[in-house]
């Protein structure tokens, strides 16, 4: 059966504190959901584009999250990056319905080769 792009309910808003994030497996996607201290929720792939570190232990400052391994900053709103990362992180559309965070999944994750930077 073909995959139907749709919003998936993931977590209650009260389960993620402001300035914190957590990761969830949604239809084979490892996704980080963050709440900024300003109360905005964002969803992005839970893997740094630099050397494949998990991002869910990264620090959140404003609308950015910092990779815990080498410190690249990513904008939670659009996935754009700073050094030492070379490319952005995929972000997912998100909505809040009542008190539930829902993430839009278009389809199965792309299968990519592991980054050559993984040796750092």
**Cα gap 21→91, rounded to integer Å:** 14
Nearer to ligand FES, 47 or 103 (CB): 47
Is the bond preceding residue 84 a cis peptide, omega within 30 degrees? yes
Q: CB under 8 Å to 88, separation ≥6 — which residues?
A: 49, 74, 78, 79, 80, 81
Binding part of the chain for ligand FES, among 10-18, 26-34, 49-57, 89-97 by CB under 6 A, reads: 49-57
Question: Is residue 50 a contact residue for ligand FES (CB under 6 A)?
Answer: yes
Tell me, residue by residue from 60 to 99, as one string, x for binding to ligand FES by CB under 6 A and - for no binding: -------x-xxxx-----------xx--------------
State the residues that interact with ligand FES by CB under 6 A: 48, 50-51, 53, 67, 69-72, 84-85
């Amino acid at each position: 059966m073909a995959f139907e792009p749709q919003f998936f309910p993931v977590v209650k808003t009260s389960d993620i504190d402001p300035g914190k994030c957590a990761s969830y497996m949604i239809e084979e996607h490892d996704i980080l959901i963050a709440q900024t201290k300003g109360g905005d929720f964002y969803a992005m792939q839970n893997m740094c584009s630099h050397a494949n570190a998990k991002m869910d232990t990264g620090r959140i400052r404003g609308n950015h999250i910092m990779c815990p391994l080498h410190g690249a900053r990513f904008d939670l709103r659009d996935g754009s990056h700073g050094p030492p990362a070379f490319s952005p992180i995929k972000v997912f559309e998100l909505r809040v319905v009542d008190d539930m965070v829902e993430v839009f999944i278009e389809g199965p994750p792309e299968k990519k080769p592991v980054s050559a930077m993984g040796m750092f």
